[in-house]
Amino acid sequence: MSDELSAPKPGCEQVLLVQAELDGELDAAPAAALEAHRAGCAICQAARADLLRTRTLLRGEPYEATPDAMRVRVMARLRQAAPRGRPAPVRGRRWVLPSIGGFGLGAVCAAALAFLVVLPRRNDFADAVVASHIRALQPGHLEDVVSTDQHTVKPWFDGRIDFAPPVRDFAAEGFPLKGGRLDYLDGRPVAALVYQRDKHLIDVYVWPAGGATPRLAGAAAIQGYNVVHWTADGMNFWTVSDLERNQLDNFAALWRKTP
């Protein structure tokens, strides 16, 4: 390999499409355009070679999918770093991004490996809860009904789900109700209640207990978010926030002791 290929300089805006091409995710026209581009681009040639070497090294290794929470956080950060522009048409994975100018080859390969590396899975369901919370933090997704009145939020769910979720107001304790939304977890619709503590948002997911829903033994910290789970009065409760653990524990304790 020449010095030009072994030490490529950053700056090619097509380099993130190389993995999409290897995965068969580009349509015929974009794939042909990328192939023609790569013939004269040392950066994309080196990226393709590195990705092929990575696949060879990882072939036969046990594989586990990247947790949803990590994928959402990584892609959100990459979107913030990306310049505005139209992505090339791709199919398959919804998380394929537009090309990102200014990314060095090492950063691109590191991002690709983040989705290929073998990762321990501590609690798939808790990961899904955190991922749902992160998605809800995107503008316009947090609340379907915006109200600090529990008597407005609770009846909003009538006819939208097949159970009546308990709704509490803890404004006096410093955890005011902000509203609620319809969400989906474990393959079913659930009630998501939104609270706030200072600048921190808290989601409380509620649905009937029973069945084979995975459980969390008390609490956990996942991707920088704290998660607390409990069951009471025939309901599952999962609450998640970037709030400090002791404060989230206090919030959960308020729920447990409030009739």
pLDDT tens readout for residues 44-97: 888 888 777 776 665 555 545 566 666 666 666 666 555 555 444 444 444 444
Q: Is the dihedral of CA 134, 135, 140, 144 positive or negative?
A: negative
**Residues whose CB is less than 8 angstroms from the CB of residue 63 and which lie 6 or more positions away in sequence, other chains included:** 118
Residues 101 and 202 in one domain: no
Pairwise CA distance, residues 241 & 61, whole Å: 34
CATH of the domain at 240: 3.30.200.100
Q: Cα-Cα-Cα-Cα dihedral of 80, 119, 185, 249, to 10°? A: -90
Which residue, of 100, 116, 132, is where some domain finishes?
Answer: 116
Give pLDDT tens digits for 218-253.
667 888 899 999 888 889 999 999 999 999 999 999
* pLDDT given for residue 259 in this prediction: 75
- DSSP-derived letter for residue 65 is P
185 close to 205: Cβ distance less than 8 angstroms: yes
Cα 32 versus chain centre, distance: 32
Among candidates 25, 103, 119, 23, which has minimal Cα distance to 71? 119
Domain final residue, candidates 90, 116, 142: 116
Task: Name the CA radius of gyration of the chain, rounded.
Answer: 23
Q: How far apart are CA 213 and CA 229, in angstroms?
A: 12
Q: What is the pLDDT at residue 81?
A: 58
Q: 108: helix, coil or strand?
A: helix
128 and 75 fall within a common domain: no
More confident residue, 101 or 35: 35
Structural domain boundaries enclosing 179? 124-257
**89 shares its domain with 171:** no
Half-sphere exposure of 45 (CA within 13 A, CB side): 16
In this prediction, residues 151-169 reach a mean pLDDT of: 93
Residue 62, classified by CB atoms within 10 Å of its CB into exposed (0-12), middle (13-18) or buried (19+), is: exposed
**Rounded-to-integer distance, Cα 134 and Cα 142, Å:** 10
Q: Are residues 170 and 95 part of one domain?
A: no
Nearest to 225 by CA among 138, 122, 129, 111: 129
Among residues 88, 116, 144, the one where a domain terminates is 116
pLDDT surpasses 60 at 166: yes
Q: What is the pLDDT of residue 78?
A: 63
Are residues 15 and 83 both part of a single domain?
Answer: yes
Query: Domain check: are 131 and 209 in the same one?
Result: yes
What is the pLDDT, as a whole number, of residue 167?
A: 95
Residue 106 sits in the same domain as residue 141: no
**Do 245 and 220 have their domain in common?**
yes
Are 76 and 7 found together in one domain?
yes
The total domain count for the chain is 2
pLDDT of residue 2: 39
Do residues 107 and 193 share a domain?
Answer: no
HSE-up of residue 224 (Cα within 13 Å, Cβ side): 10
- Looking at the structure, tell me whether residues 128 and 252 fall in a common domain: yes
Place of tokens 């681009």: 41
pTM score, whole prediction = 0.54
Are 200 and 167 found together in one domain?
Answer: yes
pLDDT of residue 67: 61
